Chains A and B, each alone.
Chain A
């Protein structure tokens, strides 16, 4: 009996320990996570920071001094470039190791390795889109560059120096939650990060949807509803700017320009409204007489931020700004002489080619009047808890056939990828993109800037520039394929060489303007140029409203200051409302409305067109417009069996204001014939009734800030690790474009001159550790629409009251 009791106790104890040690689905191993010696409690950082810290690290050439300021932004002072990038790697890893790990894993299609089969389809998609293929090509090129190879290796060594001195209790909390360990950083990870940016900014496609729509409605309708230039535009390169080059011969359209029928398939659709703003104002319009540059890139807002603020100083460079954890150099920022900023171009650098295979073995495909060999590439996808998956991907000269048959596409695969088509994507090409930023960090003048830009392949960005010599300029810049007009608007026949990319636009012929007469330059993802530019970059860009508002404001500005720019960055005036609200109001007969609808009508009629957080008019207009757009197009273009493209907001506004009796307003599913006026009226009553249902009578509950959900979520959307919902103004088409967890991920204003001054803020903090006081300490300032002055030191001995702690790295 005694023996029995003893055995039972021992067995129960061992069982208890096993249950607490082992990883059960959905939760971390309980005791591993909760024990205070090595578990999450160890990630709780103390408020008390020691003012000095000394570390000995292997591989340094000399001593490096890092000064951390009030918000723990590092100011790195090295004696040579090797140590500079080593130190950048080290401190970035110390702040953001998990973010770097998960982003590169995601890009490389290696999530199933840590989370199991749930991520398998995601991983397969990344491999099949050629993310690994592209990263391999890019890193191979970068490691051949004598300068870049050293920069990337030093950065890698710095990160690994950090990783190697970690014990289990030091692992970032997300590693403990997901139960895996950090692994060594490899140079290819820097390339993966770049490919991830390409995927986010230039990896979506609506070619499939467009082709389906073409087949349903025919070319005449496509030309009517999907024109190659918007009705209203305010292009990045001001209209009328002359091109000072002789263009290459433009390729002729291929005979097989229109694609054949494709089966239904799913892919990642182009996300509308991922956009940013930048502008530069010449000294002729500023109070100081020197240029001011502003930039606010819009991305998914996350804790930690996608950006990491840093200053890099060595005998060769002194630059301040934001970096991308995972890549060396400063990506957006300034030095003593010059400043630059980025917005996305949205160029057409991703094309689908219909492939004709010889037979079911798919060993050969038809191209250029003969059969060509299909290459095969096997991707190995490791899956936690299971055998690895071996996925064979077919490659043609265009690129990978992402899903060669309907069987290869699953329910989880993205909707907008056509089956049987090969992908030609700029991200597959070898590139030396990081060199662009290395050179921009050191740029002293306009010609340095032009030189730097020739290294940027993808994602193409509108690079705005200003310097202390009073030059301003902007260039929609990337490696743009040389195409015939609209080549890539629809799926192309992959057997015809006339459909291949015909080379690339020479960098010096990318559209450019320097010191325009109007005294300012701007981009907000609108059309790169007016229709006179000889080359085809894309048939459609983002809506013009933000660009127009910025240009309207800058045109009338005199004696502009940093604060004028800050206020413009948080502007919520709606050009869309300005253009279309009067017409919409005109089509509603208020005598036909009931009491509450009439009340709503009066509110939106008096509305000042600002999407302020406390505006009720904004809520009503927004709901009304969305309903109007949907009621116009959904009955014709939304089909659950066929993915189609809807016409743009711009085309809709044009129809409403210029052709209100257009057949396009008729709802084909109803027997009566509707006009624009009918739809506007119906949309109004439907929108208002829905608002009443959800939020009661028109009043405070209808304020935009209360209706619009907005949150900065954790990268992995962990509950409790985000900001929680907060009140915000703005909409997708106002300058301050806060919508759907998306918005200005960095706001920066730089005053150039004899002593440059930079101002900036990220919605978050420098630390990726939710247990740190620096996880989200800058969030409130950002939320209030304010900027912090950026500390920009000349030497580590600079007296600065803001320095909290000094880290000295020695060899």
Chain B
């Protein structure tokens, strides 16, 4: 379904394309197979959030979170977990809004 589609495509493209390509993917995917606004938003949100979570963990876990801890201090966050959460939320918001846009455009042009 929509969640899986956005998840797989944004994971695949993330490595060699700018970050906002995830938005285009979410938009087009929802345009194609999105059903309702709420479900599309959440599909997009969690798909991109999940991809970003996985990619971030893939780098930070073998690093013992030393970099994430330093950057969290730089941004006055209490810990690296907050930084990770912030990352996922931002990615998720972009994915969610793009998917929402996609399904609303689909409804508008029907």
Contacts and interface: CB of A to CB of B under 8 A. Distances in A.
Given A2-B108, A41-B87, A44-B63, A36 B101 contact: no
Nearest to B48: A35
Given A37-B14, A41-B59, A47-B62, A720 B97 contact: no
A166 interface: no
23 contacts: A2-B104, A2-B107, A2-B108, A3-B108, A5-B107, A6-B105, A9-B101, A9-B104, A16-B93, A31-B94, A35-B52, A35-B91, A36-B56, A36-B58, A36-B87, A37-B14, A41-B55, A42-B59, A44-B62, A44-B68, A46-B63, A47-B62, A773-B64
A46 B90 CA distance: 25
Interface string B78-103: 00000000110011011001101100
Contact of B97 (A5, A6, A13, A35): A13
A2 B37 CA distance: 12
Contacts of A3: 108
Interface residues of A, number: 39
A719 interface: yes
Given A38-B19, A41-B56, A719 B74 contact: yes
B108 A6 contact: yes
Contacts of B107: 2, 5-6
B108 A17 contact: no
Interface string B49-74: 00010011011101110111111111
Given A35-B19, A771-B66, A6 B72 contact: no
B12 to A, nearest CB: 11
A685 B101 CA distance: 73
Contacts of B55: 36-37, 41
Interface string A44-77: 1111100000000000000000000000000000
B101 to A, nearest CB: 4
Contacts of A365: none
Contacts of A46: 59, 62-63
Nearest to A44: B63
A336 B100 CA distance: 70
B108 A47 contact: no
A676 to B, nearest CB: 49
Contacts of B58: 36
Contacts of B100: 9, 13
B66 A34 contact: no
A30 B90 contact: yes
Contacts, number: 121
Given A31-B90, A36-B87, A46-B62, 14 more contacts: A6-B107, A9-B104, A10-B104, A12-B97, A16-B97, A32-B19, A34-B86, A34-B91, A35-B52, A37-B55, A44-B59, A44-B66, A46-B59, A771-B70
Q: Interface centre among A2, A34, A43, by most B CB within 10 Å?
A: A34
Nearest to B56: A36
A771 B71 CA distance: 9
A10 B101 contact: yes
A40 B93 CA distance: 19
A721 interface: yes
B60 to A, nearest CB: 5
Nearest to A773: B66
Contacts of B71: 40, 173, 720, 770
Contacts of B14: 35-37
A225 interface: no
A765 B4 CA distance: 44
B94 to A, nearest CB: 6
A725 to B, nearest CB: 14
A10 B105 contact: yes
Contacts of A672: none
Contacts of A5: 104, 107-108
Nearest to B64: A47
A701 interface: no
